[in-house]
Amino acid sequence: MGKSSDIKLITDGKRIDGRKPNELRPVKIKAGVLERADGSAYVEVGGTHAIAAVYGPRTLHPRHLVNAQKAVLRTKYDMAPFSVDDRKRPGPDRRSIEISKVTREALEPVIFLEQYKKTGIDVFIEILQSDGGTRVAGITAASVALADAGIAMRDLVAACAAGKVDDTVVLDLCGKEDNFGQADMPIAYAPNEDKITLLQMDGDFTEEEFETALKYALDGTKRIYELQKKALKERYEKNE
């Protein structure tokens, strides 16, 4: 957060890309975009493009990982080298290892893992283009991919971020807002279950700002949730 800079991020109540504070970027969601995976989904949020694939339930290797009570969920978040301004070296770095962890913990609460004892469910997320909010786009995609794979779930998880730029609480930060803003708070939420399954935050929030940001974010996830359901409906209709 907050490289100090002279960049003005809000002018006349409008953000640098013309949005209002509580406005999402254009969101596209498509289920079933890959042939090989058991389930898959593609998500675009503005300039951020994420694709997720699911394999499983399947036999888990190595065997010592097997859990007799439930499926083991594994997640891998990865940014393509060409998804960012300066080429990223391929392979996991500390950031992507942390994001893989919180992504798994964002999805676990809604999957009926106990229905798939002794198996593994693998979720792979690739960020093909990055313009802020890649982890939440990845979680949104992963959730649809899990449903596309026919994995039993309590609810879908929808994810988006809220934050603060130029002392204003805003929804869904783009890359520049993320770089030069004052706070960023990615959230994942299962609306039907009323469960916040991911929450991270860095920057500077008063208690009141936090509460506004949380309201914005939960509101944003609900709108994304509708698009997730629509994408799955289109997928099923196409398959019939």
Where along the sequence are the contacts to other proteins (CB under 8 A)? 1-3, 34-38, 40, 47, 49, 51-53, 55-58, 76, 78, 80-87, 90-91, 94-95, 97-98, 100-102, 105, 108-109, 122, 124, 126, 128-131, 179, 185, 190, 193-207, 210-211, 214, 218
- How far apart CA 65 and CA 170 sit, in angstroms, is 42
Query: Minimal distance in Å, beta carbon 229 to other proteins?
Result: 20
Query: Minimal distance in Å, beta carbon 18 to other proteins?
Result: 19
Q: CB nearer to other proteins: give 21 or 132.
A: 132
Listed residue (110, 40, 42, 43) closest to 73, CA to CA: 110
Q: CB nearer to other proteins: give 130 or 143.
A: 130
Query: Minimal distance in Å, beta carbon 12 to other proteins?
Result: 27
Q: CB nearer to other proteins: give 134 or 228.
A: 134
- How far apart CA 25 and CA 134 sit, in angstroms, is 13
Q: Residue 173, Cβ neighbours under 10 Å: how many?
A: 29
Q: CB nearer to other proteins: give 79 or 231.
A: 79
Listed residue (29, 60, 63) closest to 232, CA to CA: 29
Q: CB nearer to other proteins: give 12 or 89.
A: 89
Q: CB nearer to other proteins: give 12 or 100.
A: 100
Query: Minimal distance in Å, beta carbon 1 to other proteins?
Result: 6
Query: Minimal distance in Å, beta carbon 201 to other proteins?
Result: 4
Q: CB nearer to other proteins: give 16 or 47.
A: 47
- How far apart CA 77 and CA 125 sit, in angstroms, is 5
Listed residue (66, 78, 139) closest to 107, CA to CA: 139
Beta-bridge partners for 123: 54, 75
- How far apart CA 100 and CA 134 sit, in angstroms, is 12
Using a CB cutoff of 8 Å and minimum separation of 24, what contacts does 36-40 make? Answer: 37/124, 37/145, 37/149, 38/149, 38/150, 39/145, 39/146, 39/147, 39/148, 39/149, 39/150, 39/151, 40/145, 40/148
Query: Minimal distance in Å, beta carbon 158 to other proteins?
Result: 14
- How far apart CA 143 and CA 106 sit, in angstroms, is 10
Query: Minimal distance in Å, beta carbon 69 to other proteins?
Result: 13
